[in-house]
Amino acid sequence: GENVEQHPSTLSVQEGDSAVIKCTYSDSASNYFPWYKQELGKRPQLIIDIRSNVGEKKDQRIAVTLNKTAKHFSLHITETQPEDSAVYFCAASTSGTYKYIFGTGTRLKVLA
């Protein structure tokens, strides 16, 4: 079945620096790739997503890139702020399967 690997498991950056989280998926038919942010004790919330017909998508300080050939996608956060500290999950889904397979999460700490 589909498998999604996520790295790193923890990431510490200085405030103002950039953070990059990478995910690799196994099913070449996957075509939807969302990213969720989960603050401590809270529910996961979608922050950005990308479909397979697009190579990059940006939303202010957040961007996601997709390399279909290599089967990996990445989350980029620029000018990090303390409120970016959270656990980030990537996921992959294939049309018609109704399943979202999540990565194991990255705990991001932004140091002031």
Partner 1 sequence: NAGVTQTPKFQVLKTGQSMTLQCAQDMNHEYMSWYRQDPGMGLRLIHYSVGAGITDQGEVPNGYNVSRSTTEDFPLRLLSAAPSQTSVYFCASSYSMTGLGEKLFFGSGTQLSVL
> Cα separation of 41 and 55, whole Å?
33
| Per-residue binding letters, 31-50, with partner 1 (x by CB under 8 A) | xx-x-x-----xxxxx--x-
Nearer to partner 1, 6 or 80 (CB): 6
| Per-residue binding letters, 70-99, with partner 1 (x by CB under 8 A) | -------------------x-x-xxxxxxx
Least distance between partner 1 and beta carbon 22 (Å):
15
> Cα separation of 34 and 79, whole Å?
21
Structural contact between residues 2 and 31, judged by C-beta atoms closer than 8 angstroms: no
Cis geometry, peptide bond prior to residue 34 (ω within 30 degrees of 0): no
Cβ within 8 Å of residue 41, ≥6 positions away = none
Give the residues lining the site for partner 1 (CB under 8 A).
1, 6, 9, 31-32, 34, 36, 42-46, 49, 51, 89, 91, 93-105
